[in-house]
Amino acid sequence: MASSPVNEPTRAPGKSELRNQKPKPDDRDESELLTVPDGWKEPAFSKEDNPRGLLEESSFATLFPKYREAYLKECWPLVQKALNEHHVNATLDLIEGSMTVCTTKKTFDPYIIIRARDLIKLLARSVSFEQAVRILQDDVACDIIKIGSLVRNKERFVKRRQRLIGPKGSTLKALELLTNCYIMVQGNTVSAIGPFSGLKEVRKVVLDTMKNIHPIYNIKTLMIKRELAKDSELRSQSWERFLPQFKHKNVNKRKEPKKKTVKKEYTPFPPPQPESQTDKELASGEYFLKASQKKRQKMEAIKAKQAEVLSKRQEERKKAFIPPKEKPAVKPREASTETKIDVAAIKEKIKKAKNKKLGALTAEEVKLKMEVDEKKKKKK
């Protein structure tokens, strides 16, 4: 009897069948697949990921300046405590002026020795222990930018380094807020601690500042980028249209000459040949004159010039004998009728003044006045 197809055992798909299978189309956009979701963090590296530990011992050493010796003495127990948590040994040699870190048999994280090396480098570059110990975290990195060899002139180097710090450290503080990094400017280096994206921006700003580009331009660009990153629609688009484009304005300090020579337009043809004396004589007709006639013309020309010079001299001599123009005499003005004194009017005024009673009142007038005042009071 033929067996039913239901009871037949299911076959596992072969390699050829798996190759021919087409991947199912994903409904999500490419931009969503390329971007890291918000709040996602890489899981921490634990002992379970590397239970057998490391095969070889690794160590790094770095020198530190004399002025850091006192601070490193104080904070070294804290450094050892922080590194012992990751099973890394740290030694401080005050005689040689060096710091050394090395792995142990218990060390399981292979990258922790690189972070320990960065820690002692930051401590040597005047970074405080509280900030330097952050480098042991997985999401924090550091960058030590060397700026000493970027500018040759010492005075110019100091000015540009001060420009990076800003008045009362305001420029450096603004840069720290925009990049989420801690920045320390010390001597010929700039130390930065923070996320990878922020370190990239810090390095660009520092190098541009040492190339005589003011940091305020980069700070403006970072502020615009920060606002654009908040918009989810603009994440996958180009931001060039929003970013400012600053032009370099190199002011020429050279003084311009008073007399500027204007260059003539270039022509491939040579300039016309100047006329010779014979050509000029031929054009005017003098060439065909006799020697005596030429001599007579020259004498006439000389006499005409002499006559002009004589006339000019005589005019200059006559100027001394020409009398100056006198000012016209001012005639005395007649007294106007309005200002004449009216004697009759003055006499009338005097008569009126005599008729008026001057001085204190008489006894009779005083009594009459008192009676009038009393009557007014009684009526009230």
Q: What is the pLDDT of residues 171-205, one digit of tens each?
A: 999 999 999 999 999 989 999 999 999 999 999 99
Domain 140-245 indexed as CATH 3.30.1370.10? yes
User: Any idea what DSSP says for residue 5?
Assistant: G
Residue 335 has what pLDDT? 53
Cα angle for residues 20, 26, 32 (degrees, 5° grid): 140
Looking at 35-152, list the stretches that DSSP marks H as alpha helix, in order from N- to C-terminal side.
69-84, 112-124, 129-132
Looking at 125-236, list the stretches that DSSP marks H as alpha helix, in order from N- to C-terminal side.
129-132, 154-165, 170-179, 196-210, 215-230
Q: Is 45-138's fold the same as 140-245's?
A: yes
Residue 253 has what pLDDT? 65
Residue 184 has what pLDDT? 94
Residue ranges of domains in the chain: 45-138, 140-245
Q: What would be the CATH architecture of the domain defined by 45-138? A: 2-Layer Sandwich (3.30)
Residue 377 has what pLDDT? 79
Label residue 203 exposed, middle or buried (CB < 10 Å: 0-12, 13-18, 19+): middle
Please identify every stretch of the chain with a pLDDT value under 70, giving residue numbers as ranges: 1-34, 248-254, 331-340, 354-362, 380
DSSP string, 305-343: HHHHHHHHHHHHHHHTTSPPPPPPPPPPPPPPGGGS--H
Q: Give the pair of three-digit tokens for residue 141.
A: 């990195």
C-alpha distances out from residue 219 to 3, 120, 178, 180, Å: 80, 30, 8, 13
Label residue 123 exposed, middle or buried (CB < 10 Å: 0-12, 13-18, 19+): buried
Q: What pairs with residue 88 in β-bridges? A: 103
